[in-house]
Chains A and B, each alone.
Chain A
């Protein structure tokens, strides 16, 4: 177990270096002048000044020096100190949002966490339940129906599904609005009487004792949650179903049946816990995916998470912001994958003991 974790931990720096090189590499597609322009609010008109800036930021140096500068910051010629650098949390200035990228991320990320928190349970639990039902009723109309349901689910692009539910539940019925909060609620949240605890709205509203705002925030999240769940159920259904079918064929299930256990106990007591092992990994990665910001879902519903911000930056070709998001995302994913792998090792003795 310890060797497994150590080996897994050793992979982290390699992946980190890899991801930063990848992102840095994409930036190299731009010329030095363009890269200079990325980091400045007022770009000078004359060539001399531009050249001076290129020198100042070291964009004329060899690539590996530039990479190091990019990570650690550029040396200031007068003081000799290093300024900026992504390792110091300086991702540059976001033009599309008129604030530093790091501030943009810290403002938007809590919203993404909020959505992930509420979307997680319906997505995973109902998905697994559907999969178990399909396996237990293999080759009956329930199984076939669920199969059609899941094929339709995988064929629905997130944004088409999103637009359709918006059309029905927002435009037609006026039940569930897009966005984050209603006008009256955001006025309260922005006012002085509101105390910010962890910035995650649903939790903060409860801590503030404002149940009405909690309900309002949740109401705005229902459509994104439904969309995310429906799109992801198909995957959970398929994996759970095939894993469950596999488990139901195992000898110990036959033994359990031979002992005369009730079918319900066989399925839910003996087969299901074992069948869920591969599903756990999948669930882990899905949660990670939610935290990384669901670009399209957030964009369709105008939900102010990091995914929507990334999409907006992309449309206005705000490359600094995009790369900032990419680094942040890569970081989350690397750490989260590590956690998923280790948790899985704890659950599954076969991994732990190998």
Chain B
């Protein structure tokens, strides 16, 4: 048996019997605001070094995305998300090659960090003379936009679907869950691949078809999780009290149940961004979605497919965008790993 630490687990309120050496645990503003369960989750998230590295990585990429125009400015007539091309030569060029056509403006940091007066291709150019550095920097924006939009949309759909299913229960619940089963049969990559391929001729080559496809087949997990949480909260006394006092169904659901059940799903969703970015990159790697030359990491990597036998010489067309993507996803996964420990019901109640 372990001995319970006196500073923890003290019933609040009555402290007359406690000696001077035992202090009440201070409850901060944040804890009061979030409630003990949610506070424990937030605290657990920043506890381990791994999750701190994760937060750092995500923060780092967020900064790059925000300040992308300062790091490397778009070349005027082009759309900012279009990677500038230094000519039309097909073969990749090594890092350090001089940049001749479609040269971006000189940013303030360039001379101090590189010591050069002229733009060079810092990470080389890929197939078709697309600058890799530009693609990596502006691809960060694509990663965050697609990740955020898809995650928010899937989260909302999942929460609404799962709540309705759980709240009504019975036949409705059973039916809605069977629909989920059907939607989850096909592997999500394949399902999204098909839908994106059907949608592409309709709305043209852009980020949209892939995003819609990822949303359509991405929300089922959230629906399942929130359903489980709601089922347990539904049985609590305060819900019964609301029912007895004649509160409308929709009001009970949206004002009483969802706010109490949503937190774990919310946190999971915020960490799903990494996975979304992975799927998005995978589809664009296969050639579905954005038009050639759009700044997104999957597209940059797909250029490498035509140079597989000479990757020994052209290593930079894989290594730079590849490492960027891995670090980005790893950032989210490190946070997610800490999250899993915190949310694991078997770990609940342990500090």
Contacts and interface: CB of A to CB of B under 8 A. Distances in A.
A171 interface: yes
B330 A322 contact: no
Interface stretch (A39-47, A73-81, A85-93, A160-168): A160-168
B186 A14 contact: no
Given A167-B311, A167-B315, A154 B301 contact: no
A320 B202 CA distance: 16
Contacts of A26: 194-195, 198
The winner among A27, A289, A326 for most chain B CB atoms within 10 A is A326
B186 A329 contact: yes
| Majority-rule SS of B interface residues | helix
A23 B179 CA distance: 13
Interface in A17-73: 18-19, 21-23, 26-27, 29-30, 34
A311 B198 CA distance: 13
A326 B194 contact: yes
Contacts of A337: 185
B350 to A, nearest CB: 13
Interface stretch (B121-129, B226-234, B238-246, B302-310): B302-310
Contacts of A299: 286
B318 A160 contact: yes
Contact of A334 (B50, B185, B286, B333): B185
Contacts of A122: none
Contact of A166 (B181, B200, B308, B344): B308
Given A19-B182, A160-B325, A164-B322, A315 B308 contact: no
Contacts of A292: 187, 190
Nearest to A295: B189
A305 interface: no
A333 B301 contact: no
A18 B177 CA distance: 12
Nearest to A331: B185
A240 B305 CA distance: 35
Contacts of A30: 198
A311 B193 contact: yes
Contacts of A164: 318-319, 322
Contacts of A310: 190, 193
B183 interface: yes
Interface in A323-354: 323, 325-326, 329-330, 333-334, 337
The winner among A152, A163, A299 for most chain B CB atoms within 10 A is A163
Interface residues of B, number: 53
A315 B288 contact: yes
A299 B306 CA distance: 12
A242 B337 CA distance: 13
A26 B199 CA distance: 9
A163 B304 contact: yes
Nearest to A174: B312
Interface in B150-200: 178-179, 181-183, 185-187, 189-191, 193-200
Nearest to A172: B312
Given A314-B193, A319-B197, A319-B198, A151 B182 contact: no
Interface stretch (B22-30, B84-92, B277-285): B277-285
Contacts of A242: 344
Nearest to A314: B197
A329 B198 contact: no
A159 interface: yes
B116 interface: no
B311 A166 contact: yes
Contact of A171 (B196, B308, B322, B326): B308
A206 interface: no
A164 B311 CA distance: 9
A178 interface: yes
B135 to A, nearest CB: 15
B286 A171 contact: no
Interface of B: 50, 178-179, 181-183, 185-187, 189-191, 193-202, 274, 278, 281-282, 285-288, 301, 304-305, 308-313, 315, 318-319, 322, 325-327, 329-330, 333-334, 337, 344, 346
Interface of A: 11, 14-15, 18-19, 21-23, 26-27, 29-30, 34, 147, 151-152, 154-160, 163-164, 166-167, 170-172, 178, 242, 246, 289, 292-293, 295-296, 299-300, 302, 310-311, 313-315, 317, 319, 322-323, 325-326, 329-330, 333-334, 337
8 contacts: A19-B182, A26-B194, A27-B198, A157-B285, A160-B326, A164-B322, A167-B319, A246-B346
